[in-house]
């Protein structure tokens, strides 16, 4: 069994997830390295320094550039990036539906045009699995349709049914690739994705169907795509009782520190989001007192670290005044240090959540920080 539930506090779960590339302590945050690199100039060595447990790479981007076949030829993503811990690859679905110029959806899959050069590409469940098998990630995500939210109930219902059929094809194809020695990682794991917009009946029915397939983990997809935050929390709580207790649960694309704390309290184990690195590149930095904008004039002569409570390599060595100067002077070091701090903050927020769960004090931690960490100061 890959996932071990160690302890619960109400719906919140403290666990461990064993993978072929090491054990992940959960709840955990996956650090997003879209094109096999963290935007902001962080390498695999830096990820070790900032407490990253899982790196996430994007199938669509790597398929276009440098090409998954090239990555396979070079030994897969682990050898290519020198990150030896777990790597999760998304299915490409989200980018196909959000970035690519498109798009024709049939039962077979999706035909679309590359957002880079416009060339025509076809991707279905089999193609997504072939690409992810070439990338050699630890965990492959199932290929699903990301429909707009809100969507008509009837369209969402048909899409859910297709997503189940596509998921079965993903499983069959990944098993075939592994059995025939065509997967760079012969122990590659597969997660299924729950869909159904904000319709409770579709969400629960879909979850029950995909739970039967006995996959390595289950994700909640199609959330944090513009619906009110309260709606997202509600959907998590509606689906959660139908998610297998002995499998890891992943909320895709979420979120702020407050979102993560709230979702953990509703039974989620795994997260990913571009927010900490993207915000950092704009000078918005997370602290245990809220979010600061390092470009503000008030930090011009501030000789304290970004966050006096933070023990990251940046806060141990540099001042707010220096980092503000780097941003103002457009020095790329400013971005790099900012991204390093924010990702450290997220990874250590998860460490703190795990410690609080271990101590049985998570609820009090939730109440103290759920709003505070998202406030701007
Ligand atoms: Zn720091």
- pLDDT per position as a tens digit, 179-221: 999 999 999 999 999 999 999 999 999 999 999 999 999 999 9
Q: How far apart are CA 123 and CA 375, in angstroms?
A: 41
Span from the CA of 340 to the centroid of ligand 1 (angstroms)? 8
Q: What is the pLDDT of residue 42?
A: 97
**Residue 100 pLDDT > 80:** no
Q: What is the pLDDT of residue 290?
A: 98
Q: Where are the beta strands (DSSP E) in the chain?
A: 3-9, 12-19, 22-26, 28-32, 54-57, 87-89, 101-105, 110-113, 120-123, 139-141, 189-194, 217-220, 248-251, 270-272, 284-287, 290-293
How far, in Å, is the centroid of ligand 1 from the Cα of 318? 9
The pLDDT tens digits of the residues spanning 251-291 come to: 999 999 999 999 999 999 999 999 999 999 999 999 999 99
> How much distance in Å is there from the Cα of 345 to the middle of ligand 1?
7
Instruction: State in Å: Cα 246 to ligand 1 middle.
Output: 35
Q: Are residues 53 and 201 in the same domain?
A: yes
Identify the weakest region by mean pLDDT among 97-101, 121-125, 185-189, 206-210: 97-101
- The pLDDT, as a whole number, for residue 147 is 86
Report the alpha-carbon distance of residue 97 to residue 239 in Å, rounded: 24
Answer yes or no: is 9 within a domain.
yes
Instruction: Provide the domain count of the chain.
Output: 2
User: Given a cut of 90, is residue 115 above it in pLDDT?
Assistant: no
Are both 52 and 183 inside the same structural domain? yes
150: in domain: yes
Say if strands 284-287 and 290-293 run parallel, antiparallel, or are unpaired: antiparallel
pLDDT band at 1 (very low <50, low <70, confident <90, very high): low
| In a domain? residue 350 | yes
Look up residue 269 and give its two tokens: 């184990």
CA distance 56 to 74: 19
Distance 348 CA to ligand 1 centre (A): 10
Active-site residue, selected from the candidate residues 68, 144, 272, 307: 272
Residues 258 and 292 in one domain: no
Final residue before a domain boundary, out of 243, 273, 303: 273
Q: Strand 189-194 to strand 139-141: parallel, antiparallel, or no bridges (unpaired)?
A: parallel
Q: Is the pLDDT of residue 102 over 90?
A: no
Buried b (16+ CB within 10 A) or exposed e, 248-273: bbbbbbbbbbbbbbbbbbbbbbbbbb
* Rounded-to-integer distance, Cα 316 and Cα 106, Å: 54
Catalytic (active site) residue 272: yes
> Which band of pLDDT confidence, cut at 50, 70 and 90, is reported for residue 131?
very high
Helices (H), 37-100: 44-49, 59-64, 68-73, 77-81, 93-98
d(CA 140, CA 307): 36
Active site residue 90: yes
> Same domain for 101 and 165?
yes
Asked whether 46 and 347 are in contact (CB, 8 A), the reply is: no
Specify whether 181 is located in the same domain as 247.
Answer: yes
* One domain, residues 128 and 25: yes
pLDDT digits (tens, 9 = 90+) for 22-39: 999 999 999 999 999 999
Answer yes or no: do 235 and 310 share one domain.
no
Check whether 296 has a pLDDT greater than 90. Answer: yes
Residues 227 and 360 in one domain: no
Residue 279 lies in a domain: no
Rounded distance from Cα 241 to ligand 1 centre (Å):
37
Chain mean pLDDT for the chain: 96
- Tens-place pLDDT, residues 301-352: 999 999 999 999 999 999 999 999 999 999 999 999 999 999 999 999 999 9
Question: Picking from 13-27, 90-104, 145-159, which range would have the lowest pLDDT averaged per residue?
Answer: 90-104
Tell me the CA–centroid distance for residue 332 and ligand 1, in Å.
17
Q: What pLDDT is stored for residue 125 in this prediction?
A: 97
Picking from 270, 215, 16, the residue whose alpha carbon sits closest to that of residue 7 is 16
Mean pLDDT score, 126-146: 97
> Domain limits at 345?
285-374
The alpha carbon of 290 and the centre of ligand 1 are apart by a number of angstroms equal to 13
pLDDT of residue 103: 81
23 and 62 fall within a common domain: yes
Task: Give percent of the chain with pLDDT exceeding 90.
Answer: 92
pLDDT computed for residue 130 by the predictor: 98
Residue 31 — φ and ψ, nearest 5°? -90, 125
**Spatial contact of 248 and 2, defined as CB atoms under 8 Å apart:** yes
Q: Are 294 and 261 within one domain?
A: no
What is the model's pTM? 0.97
- pLDDT tens digits, 235-258: 999 999 999 999 999 999 999 999
Ligand 1 midpoint to CA 317 (Å): 9
pLDDT of residue 146: 85
- pLDDT above 70 coverage of the chain, percent: 100
Query: Is residue 343 included in any domain, yes or no?
Result: yes
Residue 280 maps to a domain: no
* pLDDT confidence of residue 289: 98
Report pLDDT for 232. Answer: 97
Residue 221 and residue 31: Cα distance in Å, rounded? Answer: 18
Quick one: pLDDT at residue 93? 86
The CATH number of residue 176's host domain is 3.20.20.105
**Are 268 and 291 within one domain?**
no
Ligand 1 centre to CA of 230 (Å) is 30
DSSP labels, 129-172: HHHHHHHT-SEEEPP-----SS--HHHHHHHHHHHHHHHHHHHH
Write down the catalytic residue from 90, 144, 216, 307. Answer: 90
Q: Are 302 and 250 members of one domain?
A: no
Concatenate the DSSP letters of all residues of 4-20 into one string.
EEEEEETTEEEEEEEET
Task: Tell whether 278 is covered by a domain.
Answer: no
């Amino acid at each position: 069994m890959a996932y071990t539930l160690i302890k619960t506090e109400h719906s919140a779960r403290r666990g461990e997830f064993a993978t072929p590339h090491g054990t992940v302590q959960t709840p955990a945050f996956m650090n997003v390295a879209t094109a096999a690199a963290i935007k902001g100039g962080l390498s695999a060595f830096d990820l070790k320094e900032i407490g990253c447990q899982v790196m996430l790479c994007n199938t669509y981007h790597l398929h276009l550039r440098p090409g998954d076949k090239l990555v396979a030829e070079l030994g897969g993503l682990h050898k290519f990036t020198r990150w030896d811990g777990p790597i999760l690859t998304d299915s490409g679905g989200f980018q196909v539906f959000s970035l690519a110029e498109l798009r024709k959806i049939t039962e077979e899959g999706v035909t679309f045009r590359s957002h880079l050069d416009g060339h025509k590409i076809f991707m279905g469940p089999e193609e997504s699995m072939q690409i992810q098998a070439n990338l050699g990630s630890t965990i492959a995500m199932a290929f699903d349709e990301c429909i707009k939210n809100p969507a008509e109930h009837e369209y969402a219902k048909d899409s859910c049914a297709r997503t189940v059929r596509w998921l079965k094809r993903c499983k069959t194809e990944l098993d075939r690739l592994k059995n025939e020695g065509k997967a760079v990682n012969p122990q590659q794991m597969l997660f299924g994705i729950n869909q159904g917009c904000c319709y409770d009946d579709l969400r629960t029915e879909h979850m029950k169907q995909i739970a039967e397939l006995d996959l390595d983990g289950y994700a909640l997809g199609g959330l944090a795509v513009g619906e009110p935050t309260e709606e997202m929390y509600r959907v998590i709580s509606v689906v959660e009782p139908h998610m297998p207790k002995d499998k890891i649960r992943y909320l895709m694309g979420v979120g702020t520190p407050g979102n993560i704390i709230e979702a953990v309290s509703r039974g989620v184990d795994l997260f990913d989001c571009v927010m900490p690195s993207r915000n950092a590149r704009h000078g918005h930095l997370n602290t245990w007192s809220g979010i600061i904008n390092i470009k503000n004039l008030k930090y011009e002569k501030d000789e304290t670290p970004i966050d006096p409570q933070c023990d990251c390599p940046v806060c141990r060595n540099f001042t707010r005044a220096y980092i503000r100067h780097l941003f103002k002077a457009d020095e790329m070091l400013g971005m790099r240090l900012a991204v390093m701090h924010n990702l450290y903050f997220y990874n250590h927020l998860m460490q703190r959540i795990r410690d609080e769960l271990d101590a049985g004090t998570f609820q009090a931690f939730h109440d103290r920080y759920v709003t505070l960490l998202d406030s701007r100061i």
